[in-house]
Every structure is written in structure tokens, then in C-alpha cells.
A and B are shown apart, each in its own frame.
Chain A
Amino acid sequence: MRVSGKAYILGDDIDTDVIIPGVYLVIKDPSELARHALEPLDPEFYGKARAGVIIVAGRNFGMGSSREQAVIALKAAGVRAVVADSISRIFYRNAVNNGLPVAICPGARDAIRHWEHVELDLLMGRLLVPDRGLEIVCETPRGIALRILEAGGLLSLLRRELGRS
């Protein structure tokens, strides 16, 4: 599995309340949620993310609430993967469950330049900047998490299970 996109750089401790504020949690339509992704931090994010971005963040990305809408909003806005120095527990699990690739790539945030083209190779565990020949080692989902990601998310897996039984 390989995904690519423009690097969108973020800082440490990006919490789920800034990824999708509480007032929007009642929205069911992913494309409507997407319009509010990261709104408190960057009201223009939705427009920018349409190009297809990989978020490159610092420590503890996605800390806070269990709201899966955080992942749904980012994904629907055009986020193709999230890489960070570390990723908060529930966000990580929600991302995998929605087929949004995540990787822990220590040092990436400092090494990557905003808006340059990056590629994430999930099986190799590498974040690449082909233009600069840069390669960063990442810890990517393995085992059951990789199986869920490859299936396109937990519900695709569940659909298969229910179909079988």
C-alpha cells in the first residue's frame, strides 16, 4: 500500500476538538463534516485539502475525544494519510477502522517542508520525499490493524463477515 499527497504540516497535541468541533458532531453527511475539518485552526483547510494531502504532525496527534467524525471529516476533506511523531490511541484506532493510513514517523515533521510532495509506503514503513531523495523510517500498522486497513476499514471487514454467516 502506497499513498501520496502534498504535505500539510501541523504542530504537537492537535486535539479532536480542533479537528472537528463538538457542535458539528450531529452532522451525518461526511462531505458536510469535511467543510469544518480543522476549522478552528485553519478555516481554509477544506479548500487546501481538496488537492489530496498527507498530514505531517508532531507529538500526540488526535488526542482527546473518541469522535470518529474526526477521522471521517479529515478523510472526506481530502486527507490521504496522517503521519506524526506519535498518535493518540483512539484516533489511531479510528483511522485504521476507516481505512485512513496512519504512520508514526519520528522526526518527519521537522524534516518535511510544507506542501512538498510526499509518499507513504505502508508495507516498507517509509515516508519518502522523491524530489529530495529523502527517506524517513516509520512504524506502520501491523497484524490485525494492517488487515483492517487493507480491507478498507473495519466495517468492510464486518460486511464480509456478516455476508459469510
Chain B
Amino acid sequence: MQSLTMTEKILTAKVGGIVAPSEVVEVEPDLIGIHDILGHIVVDILEDLGVEKPGFKGRLAVFLDHAAPPPSKRYAEVHMQLRRFARRLGAILADVGYGIMHQVIVEEGLARPGDLVVASDSHTTTIGAVGAFATGMGSSDIAYAIATGRIWLRIPEAVKVVLEGELKPYVTAKDLALAILGEQGSSWANYKSIEFTGPLVSRLSVSSRMTLTNMATEMGAKAALFPVDSMTIEYYESLGVSVKPLEPDPGASYYDEYTLEASLVEPMLALPDRVDYVEPVSSHEGKEVDVVFLGSCTNGREEDFRLAARILRGRRVREGTRCIAIPASRRVYQRLLAEGVISVLASAGCVVAYGTCGPCWGGHFGVLGPGEVAVSTSNRNFKGRMGDPASRVYLASPATAAASAVEGRITDPSRYIRG
């Protein structure tokens, strides 16, 4: 029997016959997602084509998350259009406040291991944390998929990332992702899928896995996968769903392989304006910071805010620096509220909201002005991403972001967190 990568296994099951990299196949997705700021184009296309009954028979979900609540009349109109669309097609609607698409899909179990997920957002790869082959596409592809029930897909070559060793207590999955980006660059996995493996994997929470599969998009990946192991199985059990293990075959062949020794990784920063311009936080300490953003689909989950709260508890955000904290969904917010973490954030002086992308894409809720410097837990620091083209964004972990908020300068979190 041929040994298959996890990518090949999932897509072989979808196609109903063994597939090999570079082959082009037509497949039916299990879940299609669209969101407000890119999804309205999908709806326009379908309306323009006069598609009354979609050919797609799987789960269709609409997320009002990017410009939520709408910061202008124009966005309000987009939301109205998408609500009408969801109602007409009987789609799942995650309205304002529900949460960011990728977070909600995993949190609600809308995707299952082995599923094929396509959505009109590049960070759809995030959902691979629970073993679904999930990929982002543009509006035409998504409209085509809704209209016909099919998409065409080139079977990607898989690359393997082996995670070894232990993380230091103040080092997170985000630092691992940044370290990989720094080593391999932003086009390393272009057209490929990344499969994470190695001894550290079994100790990474679903949330940490999501941070890595989320950042895989910044490595160019079409999809990113974690094995479906006991961690995933327990996660689905908590949702009342039973799932089976799924992992690559032992002798599967990979296009490329990279091993990261986690114990050697320090808190990392991606410097403006490149996600792969990565250096240790320690070599940039002292740089003044105007805005700290805690949140996004990369780092907007419970463990991220608990970690930030360990640093912010009993302390205040330095005067002159603003802190914006946005848990990625209402559920995350409610859990943090019950644990007292929200109160820590508010007492420290953070503006706290929930369930929106917030300033991540530069549309609302803390857009940066010319020359302003931000430390952000999100995934992109491109020129003008969070506002003015002359603003500067440093990407970091929630620990680094929180420590930097307290000091008002870029700060290594190691001195705030011990053991």
C-alpha cells in the first residue's frame, strides 16, 4: 500500500480515488464560508447570474465579522445584503458579535476532521488545526462553488514541519510561527500544504494549533494540517461530537521538511512591513509603542488573553499607549468574563470589545495614523495594513504585546512570566 500524506488522505477520500500532487480534481466542499467585506462580492455575482437555487448542498455560512458593528452606512448596507442572502438560502448566519469566521467554525464544530472547507478569506487555513483541508479562495471561486456545488483544486505537494522540544513558559505558538517565517520566508509553502508533526504537537492545544495554521497562510500555504489525535478527539467530545483519528502514513513522502527545536525559540517579532522579517524581541526592546492590539483570528482565544492577563493583572497600560483587546468571539468573551480576565484587561486600561476583527485590517476600531507604531497579535504587518501607509506594525505573541502595553515600549515578556 502506498503511504499517503494527510493532504492526500483527505483529498483521496473526497475524490473517491487515489490522488497525487499536481493532479487537478473537481470536488464538492463540505462547508463554504463567506464574510462581510469580501462576501458581498460573492452575493453580487450570484445575484447578477440569477442563481436562484444553488447547486451546493453542503453547509453554507455567512459571517458578519470584519466591519462589525458596521462603522459606516455603506458597511451597514453590506450587512443588510448579506443577511437577506443568508435568509433566502437558509444559510447559517453568524451576525454581528458572534465572532470571527475561523474562530466560530472551529468553536461551533461547523467543520469536522477530513472535511473540505473553502471560504472567501485567506486565513481559512486556520481550520486545518482540527484536521480539515481548508483553503481560502476569491469571490469568483466561491460564487462558482455555491452555484455549482463544485470547485477545481490542484492537489498540493505537502511540506512537513516537525516541532521538537518544549516551549519556555513565556514563548507561544505565535513565536514558533514567526520563527518558521523568519527561517523559511513568506513564499516557502506557496501552492503547498503544510503538515505539522513531531513530539511537541501532542502538547499543543487546539487554540495554539490554530495560531500555527493561521500563520501558515503567511508562509504561502494553500492549507495547513494538524493530525487528528487525542487532543482533537477530546476537543470534539467537548462539543458532543465523536471523531476518528486521522494522521499521515509513516512513510509518506514530502516535498520539503523543516524541523524546529522549540526550546531554542525566544519571543519573536515580525518587523514592519514584512511577515518574514523576523528578529527576537530582545533586540528591539525600548522602541516606543502607540497602540497594542490583542486579538484577531491568530491570537484571540482564551489562552491568549489568560497569558496577557498574567502580565496585566494589577498593572496598568503605560500612559501614552492605547491597548485594544478583542476576544475573537462572544463565547471566548463570555468564558473570559466568567474567569475574571475581562476585568483584568479593563482595569489595566484596555478598550475591550468582542467578536470582530477590529483593527487587524485597518477598517475600524483603532485605525493607525501616520507614523504610529503598533504591536499586534494579528498576522499581517504589511504597509498600511492597519491604517496609514506610514504607520508601522510589529507582530508578536500576546505575552510580548501585554508586556509592551505595560511598559509603553517593545518589551521581552520573559521578565514578567516565570515558570
Contacts and interface: CB of A to CB of B under 8 A. Distances in A.
A17 interface: yes
Contacts of A90: 122, 136-138
Q: How large is the interface on B (under 10, 10 to 19, 20 to 34, 35 or more residues)?
A: 35 or more
Nearest to A96: B140
B380 interface: yes
B121 interface: yes
Contact of B191 (A21, A28, A89, A94): A89
A66 B385 contact: no
B190 A154 contact: no
Interface in B101-123: 120-122
Interface residues of A, number: 39
A153 B48 CA distance: 15
B280 interface: no
Contacts of B384: 17-18, 21, 40
A22 B363 contact: yes
A64 B140 contact: no
B382 interface: yes
B45 A97 contact: no
B51 interface: yes
B229 interface: no
Given A41-B383, A89-B190, A89-B220, A25 B138 contact: no
Nearest to A22: B361
A79 B228 CA distance: 44
A63 interface: yes
B318 interface: no
B187 to A, nearest CB: 4
B67 A63 contact: no
Given A23-B362, A89-B191, A158 B148 contact: yes
A133 interface: no
A69 B120 CA distance: 12
Contact of B136 (A13, A25, A66, A159): A66
Interface string A17-54: 11001110110100000000000110000000000000
B37 A66 contact: no
B36 to A, nearest CB: 9
A150 interface: no
Given A94-B140, A155-B45, A15 B382 contact: yes
B363 A23 contact: yes
Interface in B214-235: 220, 222
A109 to B, nearest CB: 15
B316 interface: no
Contacts of B122: 64-66, 90
A15 B270 CA distance: 15
A144 B38 contact: no
Contacts of A98: 140
Nearest to A63: B186
Contacts of B24: 143-144
A26 B41 contact: no
A69 B186 CA distance: 21
Contact of A64 (B37, B138, B380): B380
B139 interface: yes
Given A17-B384, A21-B384, A159-B49, A60 B186 contact: yes
29 contacts: A17-B362, A17-B383, A17-B384, A21-B362, A23-B362, A23-B363, A26-B37, A26-B40, A26-B74, A28-B44, A59-B187, A60-B186, A60-B187, A60-B190, A60-B220, A63-B186, A64-B380, A66-B120, A66-B122, A66-B137, A67-B38, A68-B41, A69-B41, A88-B220, A90-B138, A94-B138, A97-B138, A161-B148, A162-B51
Interface of A: 13, 15, 17-18, 21-23, 25-26, 28, 40-41, 59-60, 63-69, 71, 86, 88-90, 93-94, 97-98, 143-144, 153-155, 158-159, 161-162
